[in-house]
Amino acid sequence: RWQKVLYERQPFPDNYVDQRFLEELRKNVHARRYRYRAVVFQSGAVVQQLCSVCVFVVTWWYMDAGMLSPQGLFGAALVSSLLGYVLFDAVDGGAGRRESGRTRWADLKSTLVFAAFTYGFSPVLKTLTESISTDTIYAMSALMLLGHLIFFDYGANAAIVSSTLSLNMAIFASVCLASRLPRSLHAFVMVTFAMQIFALWPMLQKKLKAQTPRCYMGVTVLFALAALGGLATVSSVGAVLFASLLVAISCLCPYCLIRLQQLKDNIHGPWDEAEIKEDLSRFLM
């Protein structure tokens, strides 16, 4: 009788197997089964980040065209930040703040220091890229915003994810675009707005997603409609293309994932590589 061993001589060829060999065959043992609604819900993070970039670019275009004053943008951003700050604590009843040990006074000091530092260096930010052509600035900003979207933490456990790199690329793009605005005050307000929408807004998104999923979906839909409405005032063709992109990401891509998942056929059996599950750290001492 054939035995699955290598240390005994057997009257069979080296590549011989009997019918018992496939008895241990298993398919899709570790395959994860997705549900369409769950995938659509998870795609909300991508949709919101795309809308954040869209809102930032449209806001910059309005300021560059002189259709939006820096005082008006700063006031609107300040009011929305205060509302978001209150909502951030109200979602979990302040449990996250108590665990972190951070006080409201510390948050206020950090905000004042950042605002004062940015306002003091706004003349430098305004003249930082005078020697660089405008076309180069636009190309650099587009590449940095694209990198921000690629490296952003959407909740996936992947090596490419880097929240720090993503935020730095977004701020770099905002500095480049702010340097092409008319005055130093415009640059200060633009960088401050970039910090709010690229750093503070994602924190509120994650809190809403973890605590109140229904509210999170509602905010995602409203934010997408606001981004589309703002883009439509700049370019109707761009709004149609952007809406098609959002629909494809939130509806079409999840559908394709569910359909392709049915074709998954991963086999597992005695031919798999051996996995050492024993703790071998004692041999390293």
User: Looking at residues 45-70, what average pLDDT do you find?
Assistant: 92
- Predicted confidence at residue 241, as pLDDT, reads 94
Average pLDDT of every residue of the chain:
86
Lowest-pLDDT range of 77-86, 89-98, 180-189, 224-233: 89-98
Q: Where are the domains of the chain?
A: 37-263
pTM: 0.81
Residue 52 near residue 199 (C-beta atoms within 8 A): no
pLDDT given for residue 55 in this prediction: 94
The pLDDT assigned to 6 comes to 73
pLDDT exceeds 80 at position 18: no
Contact 270, 4 (CB under 8 A): yes
pLDDT of residue 284: 65
Task: Assess contact for 263 and 68: CB atoms under 8 A.
Answer: no
Residue 51 has pLDDT above 90, yes or no: yes
DSSP alpha helices (H): ranges in the chain?
A: 36-42, 44-64, 70-91, 95-100, 104-120, 122-126, 134-151, 163-178, 184-195, 201-211, 213-234, 236-247, 253-261
Q: How large a percentage of the chain has pLDDT more than 70? A: 96
Whole-number Å distance between alpha carbons of 86 and 108? 13
